[in-house]
C-alpha cells in the first residue's frame, strides 16, 4: 500500500506546502539537510499551482495541514506534542490547529446509529439533533434518551474515515521512507518512528471504545475533585463507531464575553484548570493531554468540564516523584536539588558535573522569577530547559514530552482567562501536597508495605531460595549462572525488606 500510487498525494502535499509558504518553515524547523531541501523543492515548486490555497489568516504550516484534510490536521496535532522532533517553536505553532470541519449530513449519522444499535434511532433516542460539533475524526450530536429523558452527547465517527486515514498514512510512510533514503543523517529525527507513532494513535482514536474506556477511567479518578467534572459514559450504547456520554451544559472557555456575562470568576477558573492538570498528573499519573479551550467548558455552577478523551497521558509513580521534585526545586529556587534529581533519575550522564549543571539550571530559572507574573512563559522556560539539558547529554524522555507539552497548553488556557496568572503561586500548593504525601516517612512505610506484599507472593518458595543462597555462599569460587540471578536478587530483597520492617516495627512500638 506504500507504493507509487501515493506519488500523486506526495506531489499535492509538496505543492500545498509550497503555495502556503509552509515548506521553508518546515525545512528550517527540522534543520533538514541539503538532499531533503532539494527533493522538497522539486516536489513543490514546479507544481505549486496544484497546491491548495488554505486559509490565509492562519500561520503557514497549520494553513497547509488544514487545507490538506483530516489526516494532516491530526498529524499536526500529534507533532505538536513532540517538540523533540519539530522543535519547541514549531510545536507551539501547531497547537493552533483546530478540529473545526464541516459536519457530515444528519441522515448519515442516523444510519451509523441504527447500524451500531441494530434498530431505529427512535427506539433509543426521543430526540436526535443536528451536529453540534465536528472534528477531523468524528462529530457530536445532542440527544435525549427515550427511556429516561436524560440528555446525552452522541459522538459518531465520520463515514469512510478509516479508509481515508489509511490512504493518507500510507503516503506519510512513503514520505518517511524517502526522507531516510535521501538523507541518512535525517534518521536522527526518526521519521519512520514518528509516522508509526501517529498511526498507532489514530488507530486507537478510530475505535471509540478506547476513548470511552479513557473517559471511564478519568471519570473514576476525578469523581471527588471539587470544581472539575468529567461526563459519565453510557456503556450500553457505546460501540466501536459510536460513543455516548452524559450531556454537559456549559460555556466554552474560549468565549470570554459569555463567561463575563454569566459572572463567572475568571481568575478562579484559570487557577482551577492549572491545578487540576497538576493534580491528575501527579496524584493519578493519568491526565487529559489535550486541554485546549475547545475541550473545556464552564458549567452554570462554575465547575470546569472536560471533554474529548482521545489523547490522554500516563506516567509511572517514580517519574511523577521526579517531576514533582524538579518542579518544587524550581519553585524554591533550589537549583542544586533540581540538578541532583536529574542525576539520581539517570536523566543526565553520571560523568557530568552536578555543580555545572546546577549553574546552567539557574540560568533557566532566575530570569523567569525576575519577571512579572503576567510575563512568565512556561513555553520559553521549557524551550530553554530543553536546550540546557541537551547540552549536558540528557536523552529525550518520551514519558515527559506529552506532560511538558500539555503544561504549555494549560498555561495558555489559564493565561487567557487570567492574564496576571502566576503559574508558580498556583502550582505550588498542588506540588507541595503531592510531595508531602509521596516523599517522606509515610511514603517510605507505604512503599515498604507494597514491596513486602509483592515479595510475599514468593513465600512458598522462600525455603528453596534460602537454601540456594546458602549453597552459593558455601561455594564462593563457583560463578552463579545468570539464570539464578533473579533468585539471588529476591533473597536479598526479602532480607532487606524483613530487616527494614523489623526496624520500622521497633521504632513504632
Write the pLDDT tens digit of every residue in 143-200: 999 999 999 999 999 888 888 888 888 877 877 777 777 666 555 556 777 777 777 7
CB-based contacts of 138, cutoff 8 Å, min separation 6: 155, 156, 157, 158, 161, 208
Q: Is the pLDDT of residue 262 over 90?
A: yes
Q: Are 45 and 12 contacting, i.e. CB atoms less than 8 angstroms apart?
A: no
pLDDT level of residue 375 (50, 70, 90 thresholds): low
Q: Which of 290, 334, 351, 447 is catalytic?
A: 290
Condensed to tens digits (0 to 9), the pLDDT of residues 335-354 reads: 898 889 888 888 888 888 89
Closest C-alpha to 138, from 120, 122, 123, 153: 153
Q: How far apart are the two ends of the chain, measured CA to CA in Å? A: 70
Quick check: pTM over 0.85? no
DSSP 128: E
In a 3-state reduction of DSSP, which class is residue 142? strand
Judging by DSSP bridges, how do beta strands 138-145 and 242-246 pair with one another? unpaired
Higher local confidence (pLDDT), 388 or 301: 301
Residue 363 pLDDT > 50: yes
Q: Give the span between the Cα atoms of 320 and 328, in whole angstroms.
A: 12
Q: Please tell me what DSSP assigns to residue 190.
A: -
| Separation of alpha carbons 322 and 338, rounded Å | 9
Q: Which residues contact 459 (CB under 8 A, 6 or more apart)?
A: none
Q: Compute the distance between CA of residue 27 and CA of residue 43 in angstroms, rounded to an integer.
A: 13
Q: Choose the weakest-confidence range: 20-24, 99-103, 418-422.
A: 99-103
Q: Tell me the three state secondary structure of residue 330.
A: helix
Give the whole-angstrom CA distance, residue 233 versus residue 121. 19
Q: Give me the percent of the chain exceeding a pLDDT of 70.
A: 74
Rounded distance between C-alpha atoms, residue 43 and residue 15, angstroms: 7
User: Given pLDDT bands bounded at 50, 70 and 90, which one contains residue 233?
Assistant: very high
- Asked whether residue 394 carries a pLDDT value surpassing 80, the answer given is no
Lowest mean pLDDT among 94-98, 301-305, 449-453, 478-482: 478-482
Distances (CA, A) of 397 to 43, 315, 319, 338, 342: 34, 11, 10, 16, 11
Give SS3 for 488.
helix
d(CA 175, CA 30) in angstroms, rounded, equals 14
d(CA 22, CA 60): 5
Provide the pLDDT for residue 135: 80
Kindly list the distances between the CA atom of residue 88 and the CA atoms of 23, 392, 409, 424, in Å, as whole numbers in the listed order. 18, 18, 12, 21
Q: 412: which residues sit within 8 A by CB, 6+ positions away?
A: 95, 292, 379
Residue 133, C-alpha cell as written in the block: 460539533
To the nearest whole number, what is the mean pLDDT of the chain?
A: 79
Rounded distance between C-alpha atoms, residue 380 and residue 404, angstroms = 12
pLDDT at 484 over 60: no
pLDDT for the residue 66: 83
Q: Is the pLDDT of residue 26 over 90?
A: no
C-alpha–C-alpha distance, residues 240 and 207, integer Å: 5
Instruction: Using DSSP, state whether 252 is helix, strand or coil.
Output: strand
* Cβ-contact 156, 138 below 8 angstroms: yes
DSSP for residue 288: E
Is 196 designated active site?
no
Torsion of CA 339, 344, 347, 351, to 10 degrees: 80
Strands 304-306 and 228-229 turn out to be parallel
By C-alpha distance, which of 37, 11, 15, 38 is closest to 171? 11
Cβ neighbours of 330 (radius 10 Å) = 22
Alpha-helical runs (H) found in 263-396 = 266-279, 317-331, 335-344, 354-369, 378-391
Amino acid at each position: 500500500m506504500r507504493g507509487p500510487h501515493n506519488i500523486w498525494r506526495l506531489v499535492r502535499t509538496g505543492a500545498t506546502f509550497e503555495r502556503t509558504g509552509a515548506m521553508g518553515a518546515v525545512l528550517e524547523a527540522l534543520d533538514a539537510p541539503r538532499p531533503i531541501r532539494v527533493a522538497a523543492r522539486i516536489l513543490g515548486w514546479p507544481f505549486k499551482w496544484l497546491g491548495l490555497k488554505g486559509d490565509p489568516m492562519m500561520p503557514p504550516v497549520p494553513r497547509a495541514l488544514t487545507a490538506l484534510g483530516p489526516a494532516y490536521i491530526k498529524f499536526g496535532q500529534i507533532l505538536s506534542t513532540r517538540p523533540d522532533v519539530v522543535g519547541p517553536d514549531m510545536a507551539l505553532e501547531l497547537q493552533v490547529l483546530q478540529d473545526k470541519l464541516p459536519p457530515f449530513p444528519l441522515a448519515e449519522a442516523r444510519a451509523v446509529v441504527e447500524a451500531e444499535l441494530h434498530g431505529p434511532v427512535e427506539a433509543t433516542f426521543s430526540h436526535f439533533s443536528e451536529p453540534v460539533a465536528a472534528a477531523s475524526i468524528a462529530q457530536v450530536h445532542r440527544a435525549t434518551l427515550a427511556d429516561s429523558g436524560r440528555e446525552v452527547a452522541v459522538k459518531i465517527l465520520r463515514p469512510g474515515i478509516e479508509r481515508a486515514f489509511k490512504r493518507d498514512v500510507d503516503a506519510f510512510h512513503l514520505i518517511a521512507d524517502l526522507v531516510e533514503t535521501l538523507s541518512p543523517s535525517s534518521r536522527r529525527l526518526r521519521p519512520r518512528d514518528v509516522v508509526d507513532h501517529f498511526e498507532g494513535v489514530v488507530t486507537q482514536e478510530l475505535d471509540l471504545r478506547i476513548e470511552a474506556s479513557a473517559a471511564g477511567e478519568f471519570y473514576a479518578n476525578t469523581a471527588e475533585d471539587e470544581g472539575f467534572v468529567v461526563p459519565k459514559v453510557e456503556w450500553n450504547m457505546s460501540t466501536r463507531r459510536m460513543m455516548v456520554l452524559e450531556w454537559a451544559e456549559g460555556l466554552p472557555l474560549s468565549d470570554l464575553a459569555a463567561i463575563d456575562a454569566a459572572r463567572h470568576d475568571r481568575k478562579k477558573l484559570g487557577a482551577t484548570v492549572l491545578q487540576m492538570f497538576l493534580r491528575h498528573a501527579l496524584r493519578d499519573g493519568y491526565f487529559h493531554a489535550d486541554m485546549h479551550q475547545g475541550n473545556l467548558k464552564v458549567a452554570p455552577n462554575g465547575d470546569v468540564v472536560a471533554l474529548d478523551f482521545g489523547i490522554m497521558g500516563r506516567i509511572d509513580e517514580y517519574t511523577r516523584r521526579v517531576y514533582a521534585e524538579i518542579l518544587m526545586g524550581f519553585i524554591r529556587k533550589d537549583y542544586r536539588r533540581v540538578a541532583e534529581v536529574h542525576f539520581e533519575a539517570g536523566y543526565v550522564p553520571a560523568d557530568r558535573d552536578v555543580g555545572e549543571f546546577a549553574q546552567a539550571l539557574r540560568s533557566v530559572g532566575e530570569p523567569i522569577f525576575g519577571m512579572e507574573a503576567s510575563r512568565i512563559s512556561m513555553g520559553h522556560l521549557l524551550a530553554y530547559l530543553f536546550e540546557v539539558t541537551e547540552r549536558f547529554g540528557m536523552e529525550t524522555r518520551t514519558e515527559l514530552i506529552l506532560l511538558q507539552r500539555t503544561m504549555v497548553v494549560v498555561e495558555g488556557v489559564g493565561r487567557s482567562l487570567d492574564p496576571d496568572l502566576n503559574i508558580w503561586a498556583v502550582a505550588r500548593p498542588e506540588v507541595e501536597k503531592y510531595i508531602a504525601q509521596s516523599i517522606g516517612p509515610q511514603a517510605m512505610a507505604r512503599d515498604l508495605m507494597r514491596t513486602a506484599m509483592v515479595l510475599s507472593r514468593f513465600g512458598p518458595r522462600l525455603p528453596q531460595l534460602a537454601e540456594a543462597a546458602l549453597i552459593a555462599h558455601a561455594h564462593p569460587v563457583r560463578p552463579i549462572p545468570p539464570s539464578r540471578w533473579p533468585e539471588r536478587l529476591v533473597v536479598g530483597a526479602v532480607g532487606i525488606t524483613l530487616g527494614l520492617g523489623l526496624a520500622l516495627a521497633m521504632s513504632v512500638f
